[in-house]
Each structure stands twice: as C-alpha cells, then as structure tokens.
Structure 1
C-alpha cells in the first residue's frame, strides 16, 4: 500500500510540473512521517525517498538515531526555544521560524555547534488565529533582523494553508507567498535567499506546485491517516 501511495504522489507531482512547465527536479517531496513507526519510514526510504519531515523535535531526534544517516530531516512543526539545542545539528532545514527570539536562540546554538542553520520563515498568509507564523506585512522586517545573525541562513518561506475541501481555494494563498518571496529576493539582503518555497500538503500540493512551490509536505497521501494515540 505504501509503495502504491508513494508512486501516486510522485505521478501527481510530475503531472503538476508538466502543467506549469516546470522540471520534476525543481520540487522536493518531503514525506511527513510524524507519528509513523520507523518500519514505515524504512519502506519509503527503500523507494529512494530521502527527505522526511517531523513536527516534534523529540520524534525527529529519536528517528535520526536509528534511521540511515543519508536522510535529510526537516523540522516542519512549531519549534520551542528550549528544544532548539537538540535539533540544530540534525535538521537539514527548519521550516518554522516565526520570531526574532527563536532565531536568536537558533543562532546561539549554531555557534556552540560551529554550524550555520538553514531556516525558512513561516508566514501565516491567511492570518488564521489557530496557526503560527508571521503576517505578510511583518515578514520583511523579521528577515532583515534575522539576516544579521551569522549562525542562520534564511533560505525562503513556508506557509500552512487553511484546510479546505477544494484545493483551488488555497491558490491565492500560494500565489501571495510566491509574490512575497519575489519581493524579498529583489531586496538583495545579505545572508538571505528565496530559493525555497515550502507550501502545499496532501490536499493541495498540486495547486501549490503550479504556483511555485519548491517543497511540498505530504504525509497522509503517503502514509495514510495519522494515529495520534501513539505517544512519542
């Protein structure tokens, strides 16, 4: 079942790329494996998937220890400052930076590990109260402040679009994030690139790709419904 699911997602990504004249290589599929056992991750790994996404630091670090070392781990969930020290040398990309205070903590821990941490700025494009992320209007000032931190490399933007039954409803959200990234790119800020647009999930990743996503985060589409009774 997992292989079938995975191949279906891959096919839909290719088709979405074809529709908008993009190469398949321009889009990274992140297999969102939160709450899933390592046996399931291994099965997807064996299909040549290398990018996996986790919401919780504890779950990511636990899987990091036992899974193959060539996996690229993405932290896509909200990151608490007191958990930063566990993750800076393990995540290839932190998708969810939404405050200067969090960025300063990441910068401090990066110094201890003598590394530069790639991050995305999480933007709450739809301004949903239940979601983390900065407003569109707050994004540039935050990035300008973070750009001064030597231990961080801002590589783009991330958003979590609203839950909708018709993915077309989220097209304006994805379009807006793309426009914001272009505006910021044109500022030519030191230590900042806008090479990554992390947007689109199981329900709407095809629309996100059509609007410029370079990373899509697909969990349910690959692994099936999540079992939240599993405590990590």
Structure 2
C-alpha cells in the first residue's frame, strides 16, 4: 500500500515538474532503484506498474534476476567491473554507467560472442567529483566517437550523478551542462551518436533534473523506502 502511495505522489511530482517547463510527462521514464530491497519488494514494485528495474551491484542483482528476471526491463546503474560484464549480458537491457574504453571493449567482445547488443548511457562526471566515476566533459566527444565504432553497443544517451546536497537548486547547473553536452554530440550528426536520452536525477533532485531535460530518472528511496 505504501509503495502505491509513493508511486502516485512521484507521478504527480513528475507531472508538476513537466508543467513548469512545458514538457510532456510521458517523455519522462522512471527506473525504480531496487538495489537496497529484497526480491519480494522488487516483485511488489513490478506489481505496482513500474516495469523498469535498476540495480547497481552484480552480486545482489543476479540472484534477484534469476528469480524474477522474466518480468520488467532491467537497468544496471552502478559502477561495472570488467570481470563482471559476463554476468549482466543477457540479463540487463540497459547499462547507465559506461565510463571507460576498457569496459566498452569488454562489453563489445562479450556481446558479439552472444550475437546481442546493449543500450548504453555514457556516464559523465560533470561535477568532476574525485570519488565518483565517469569521464569528464572535455573527454566526452572523443569517447563517444570511439564507442560509436563498436557495433554491439547502442549509445542511447548520457548519464550523470549530481553532488549530494540538501538544496537541489544547487545542482541545476550540473543537469544543465549534461543537456548542453547532449546537444553538442547531436551537432556531430553521427548516425551512431544520436543520444536521445538523459539519465539524470535521483530521489533528492529528480524534479530539477526533469526541468533541465531528464528523460530517465532513477528513483530509490522516494519510491521503495530507505536502505533496509
């Protein structure tokens, strides 16, 4: 019951955010971040009508997927080690954290072995926080052009994580910069770098992210509660 109430409130907040900037709420999709909850809660998330599931640790995600992986669309949203790539292929349709060339090469190799492809977001460390992963803004163009040559990877957009702050307005420039970078890549008019999506905004700042152009928001605590 609480989950349903949370989801209704989130939907209204998305609608309100979109109306403030004259966007269509249907253009914003929600990844329900279930990384801190158990299989039963993850199933309840799917039952509530949310079908995009976000996980960030392979060792936690794979056991869940083995039980309920035939339901929903699975997004890997955390830092991915090269030696874990084989675990997510065939299970996850999206990777939100493609942040280095060695990972891209490993993904492409493993995907080709299976005759599959994967939708990937290029992770950009816009705020240049040393403790966070992601390439820096000035590296993005060259990285995107390199990844575009890998036939098994479909670049669907850009992702960033804004600094944690009590005032979400403080991170608006981070989201605005990712939108600018998206436009910069689109100006290349490269057939493999259309980057239609922006994965940005979490429970504490998703409304500002939507106002700045997010098409995917990754929501955990505001939907499913705090870490158990």
TM-score band, normalised by the shorter chain?
A: over 0.9
**What is the CA–CA distance in structure 2 between the aligned matches of 1:191 and 1:109, rounded to whole Å?**
20
SS in 1 for 2:194: strand
**What is the CA–CA distance in structure 1 between the aligned matches of 2:87 and 2:149, rounded to whole Å?**
23
Provide Cα deviations, 1:85-135, integer angstroms capped at 9, x if missing partner: 111211111000111110000000001110111111000000001100000
Partner residue in 1 for 2:225: 224
**What is the CA–CA distance in structure 2 between the aligned matches of 1:222 and 1:6, rounded to whole Å?**
6
SS in 2 for 1:164: coil
Q: 1:73-88 counterparts in 2 under 5 A?
A: 73-88=74-89
Partner residue in 2 for 1:65: 66
* Contact kept? 1:53, 1:74, Cα under 8 Å: yes
Partner residue in 2 for 1:167: 168
How many pairs were matched up? 227
SS in 2 for 1:18: helix
Provide Cα deviations, 1:121-173, integer angstroms capped at 9, x if missing partner: 00000000110000000011001111111111111100000001000001000
Partner residue in 1 for 2:214: 213
Structure 1 residue 60: deviation in Å?
2.1
SS in 2 for 1:192: coil
Using the TM superposition, name which of 39-48 and 27-36 deviates more: 39-48
SS in 1 for 2:61: helix
* Contact kept? 1:118, 1:153, Cα under 8 Å: yes
Partner residue in 2 for 1:51: 52
User: RMSD of the TM alignment (CA)?
Assistant: 1.0
**What is the CA–CA distance in structure 2 between the aligned matches of 1:142 and 1:72, rounded to whole Å?**
27
* Contact kept? 2:74, 2:92, Cα under 8 Å: yes
**What is the CA–CA distance in structure 2 between the aligned matches of 1:121 and 1:203, rounded to whole Å?**
22
Gaps spanning 5+ residues in structure 2: where? none
Q: Does 1:27 align with 2:28?
A: yes
SS in 2 for 1:197: strand
SS in 2 for 1:121: strand
Structure 1 residue 59: deviation in Å?
2.1
Provide Cα deviations, 1:205-227, integer angstroms capped at 9, x if missing partner: 00000000000001010111113
Partner residue in 2 for 1:109: 110
Using the TM superposition, name which of 187-196 and 156-165 deviates more: 187-196
**What is the CA–CA distance in structure 1 between the aligned matches of 2:114 and 2:90, rounded to whole Å?**
7
Q: 1:111-190 counterparts in 2 under 5 A?
A: 111-190=112-191
Q: TM-score, normalised by structure 1?
A: 0.95
Structure 1 residue 68: deviation in Å?
5.5
* Contact kept? 1:6, 1:44, Cα under 8 Å: no
